């Protein structure tokens, strides 16, 4: 369903745009707490964006409401390229179904600029969990219903919905515990407050490498290098393409020349071998996708995840 962009041959949009804000910092808004995938990516991109765009880029964390507070902030910002949102596009895709009275329209009030990377989910457990592999975990969850807590980055987040689909597939009941972002959820499981987490590889892999968490399986099309655990597809599990799809958004009315300039800058950054290597080291694949394909992708994801939200009657707390 998703095709990896060939960055070496990508057309770079022109970097001149008459409506682009000059002379003031560009705010790169992360709608989650520091330490999560969006925050990690923002801090990698910001220096390069500053260099290419010729203005200071400031990373600003605005967490809350499943990422909706930061998204709303950008949706109401001046449409001149002075404020951008960098977020898990999956979180935005679930928002319309999860929050029927959302104060902004995801597809109208935010303009997709570029889908940057895809990082699969790692399903991991606290080392105290008596399950060494996927089969043992599924059996334990089924044998002891509601005794295993799954930490997620917020009610209705894509990792929450992935856990719901997995529990249904296993025939098990898992207790879902929402936190304010993936970083807080990771910390909670590492501390033993919860036993299971499904979270982006970019933020989660360091925890599995140093033994704070035990990796069980990964989503996505392939096994992760250096992490010898099976994929969801190999196990016959659902949600095989779930993961964190990180993208950049501008306010909805932003003029096309400004969007093109930002898209071009991001493509230049992602085409750098060093940046691609850093993404790979974090377990992520570059998936550069321009504004129009990204917009169509987001609409499709909103419909797909919306069905899961409605079928399971999931509501924010």
Transcribe 247-263 into DSSP letters.
EEEEETT--HHHHHHHH
Q: How far apart are CA 273 and CA 275, in angstroms?
A: 5
Strand (E) or helix (H) holding 218: strand 214-218
C-alpha 308 chain-centroid distance: 18
Nearest C-alpha neighbor of 150 from the set 214, 198, 218? 198
pLDDT in tens, the chain (317 residues): 433 333 333 333 333 333 455 568 999 999 988 988 899 999 999 999 999 999 999 999 998 887 899 999 999 999 999 999 999 998 899 999 998 889 999 999 999 999 999 999 999 999 999 999 999 999 999 998 889 999 998 888 899 999 999 999 999 999 999 998 888 999 999 999 999 999 999 889 999 999 999 999 999 999 998 888 999 999 999 999 999 899 999 999 999 999 999 999 999 999 999 999 998 888 889 999 999 999 999 999 999 999 999 999 998 86
Radius of gyration of the chain (CA): 19
> What are the chain's domains?
7-119+243-311 (3.40.190.150), 120-235 (3.40.190.10)
* H, E, C per residue of 103-122: CCCHHHHEEEEEEEEEEEEE
User: Is the CA virtual torsion 143, 146, 152, 154 positive or negative?
Assistant: positive
Nearest C-alpha neighbor of 83 from the set 162, 28, 46? 28
């Amino acid at each position: 369903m998703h095709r990896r962009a060939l960055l070496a041959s990508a057309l770079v949009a022109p970097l001149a745009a008459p409506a682009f804000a000059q002379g003031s910092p560009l705010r790169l808004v992360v709608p989650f707490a520091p330490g999560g995938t969006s925050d990690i990516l923002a801090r990698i991109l910001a220096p390069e964006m500053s260099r290419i765009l010729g203005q200071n880029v400031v990373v600003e964390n605005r967490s809350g409401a499943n990422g909706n507070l930061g998204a709303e902030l950008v949706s109401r910002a001046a449409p001149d390229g002075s404020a951008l949102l960098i977020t898990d596009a999956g979180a935005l895709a679930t928002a319309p179904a999860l929050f029927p009275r959302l104060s902004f329209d995801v597809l109208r009030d935010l303009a997709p600029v570029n889908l940057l990377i895809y990082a699969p989910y790692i399903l991991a457990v606290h080392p105290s969990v008596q399950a060494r592999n996927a089969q043992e975990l599924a059996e334990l969850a089924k044998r002891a219903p509601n005794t295993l807590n799954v930490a997620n980055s917020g009610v209705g987040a894509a990792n929450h919905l992935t856990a719901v689909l997995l529990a249904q597939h296993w025939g098990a009941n898992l207790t879902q515990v929402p936190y304010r972002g993936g970083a807080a959820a990771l910390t909670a499981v590492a501390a033993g407050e919860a036993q299971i987490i499904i979270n982006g590889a970019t933020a989660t892999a360091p925890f599995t490498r140093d033994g704070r968490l035990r990796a069980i399986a990964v989503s996505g099309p392939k096994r992760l290098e250096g992490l010898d655990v099976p994929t969801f597809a190999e196990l016959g599990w659902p949600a095989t393409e779930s993961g964190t799809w990180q993208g950049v958004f501008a306010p909805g009315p932003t003029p096309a020349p400004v969007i093109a300039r930002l898209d071009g800058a991001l493509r230049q950054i992602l085409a750098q071998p060093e940046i691609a290597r850093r993404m790979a080291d974090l377990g992520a694949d570059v998936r550069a996708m321009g504004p129009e394909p990204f917009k169509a992708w987001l609409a499709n994801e909103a419909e797909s995840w919306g069905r899961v939200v409605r079928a399971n009657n999931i509501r924010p707390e």
